[in-house]
Amino acid sequence: MERLVEEVKKSLITAAWFVFLTFPMIVVKLHSAENRVSYRWINALYVAIGAFFISFIWRYLLERRDKKSSSDNVEDSLVYKVLNHPVYSKILYGAVFVFVLIFPLLFSTYQTNIMTTALIYVVLALGLNIVVGLAGLLDLGYVAFYAVGAYGYALLSKYFGLGFWAVLPMAGILAAIAGIILVFPILRLKGDYLAIVTLGFGEIIRIFLENWDGLTNGPSGISGIPRPSFFGMEMKVDQSLIFIYYITVALVIFTIFVVNRLQVSRLGRAWLALKEDEIACQSMGIDRVRAKLTAFALGATWAGFAGVIFAAKTTFVNPASFTFFESVIILAIVVLGGMGSIVGVIIAALMMILLPEYLRAFSDYRMLIFGLAMVLVMVFKPEGLIPFRGGRLVYKKREPGKDGSSNEKRAYS
């Protein structure tokens, strides 16, 4: 009872402060034509009641979160039980796969186009997840590799006449080379210093694209980029967009497979060790230089692939599509989904890209709702929607055997 009274007092103080801070905007109204001032006290009452209940509920949810995090095991949650169940997980993944395949048949071309964009961001986020989520290297210039892939296709198509399928692997290689060029001089940097350097690299690429008019056409960009062909068949715009959708789906599946295998590989374990403690990682004989180079190179490769698909989908690229804000969005997807978590990153990418589109009915408030949703997720799920639980040594206890044998079993997950 005393705890409840204390919480009520805190909420009342919060409500009073909120009314005081918003008093000039909510309560006071100036009538300049009549040269008088009126006071809308009913608005102050509404603000006080709303602030009191929001503060009280907020404190209750925070206390509940703290109790849950200290007492419950995350792996015992319903989400992990379904994802780790040998039968339910296959049913879930199968249903999602079937839905993705028939999506263009169920929805319009506009919806298919939006979903294609969301899937491109899934590929981008999974690529950045290698760098940030697994290796722990903060990259704020990831959009630069995205631009390398998009402009690589545009320029090779414009000047050399190369098609989509020829440029797709070449763009991945070009982006990987760009990743190696970026990280090689800054191998000793980490944390905030690494983030600043990568941010500068992203801005250098964007300014380079804006100012080299003779090659990239400057701010005007490059138009007329050809869409991918299917054995030379001519396709209409709608058919071509659907074809690009299925290409993106195939790339997402391939990306998931590769990233999943990398997580459990020797290289993936080296990245996780590098993320936890770089000095201990090097003292155990892990090549720190090789681990960082491969992380940036592989992450940049997927950005290059995504850039080619983006250029083919829009048939136009310009520097305005590769700003710092794009890097922030991709990094926010990785953090919200759960750094290192494949399923979490996919869900976060779909939410981050699709929600603003479907909230257009609330055009005046959609970004406010979007920002509020992000704040709530990070407050109540600080490790992300689905935290990554791999790379840990887990001890599973068993009941003692009749022969008195050991009752502990070690499993590395």
Question: Average pLDDT for residues 260-289, to the nearest whole number?
Answer: 84
Say which residue, 157 or 64, is predicted with more confidence: 157
Kindly tell me if the per-residue pLDDT of 312 is higher than 70: yes
Distances in Å between the Cα of 237 and the Cα atoms of 114, 115, 244, 253 are 15, 16, 10, 25
Beta strands 222-223 and 316-317 are antiparallel
Residue 156, amino acid = L
Q: What per-residue confidence (pLDDT) applies to 163?
A: 86
Domain ranges of the chain: 2-72, 107-380
Among 62-71, 225-234, 257-266, the range scoring the smallest mean pLDDT is 62-71
pLDDT band at 77 (very low <50, low <70, confident <90, very high): low
In this prediction, residue 175 carries a pLDDT of 92
The alpha helices in 72-191, defined as continuous H runs, are: 78-84, 88-106, 109-128, 143-160, 164-183
Give the pLDDT confidence score for residue 409 in this predicted structure: 47
The answer to whether residue 74 scores a pLDDT higher than 60 is no
Each residue's pLDDT tens digit, 250-266 = 999 999 999 989 888 88
Give 363's pLDDT tier (boundaries 50, 70, 90). low
Q: pLDDT tens for residues 156-167?
A: 998 888 888 999
Instruction: Find, among 330, 282, 277, the residue nearest to 307 by Cα.
Output: 330
Average pLDDT, the chain: 82
Is there a contact between 151 and 222 (Cβ–Cβ < 8 Å)? Answer: yes
Q: Which pLDDT score, from 0 to 100, does residue 368 have?
A: 75
- The stretch 117-122 carries a mean pLDDT of 93
Class of domain 107-380: mainly alpha
Q: Between residues 140 and 385, which one has the greater pLDDT?
A: 140
Is residue 346's pLDDT more than 80? yes
The stretch 378-404 carries a mean pLDDT of 64
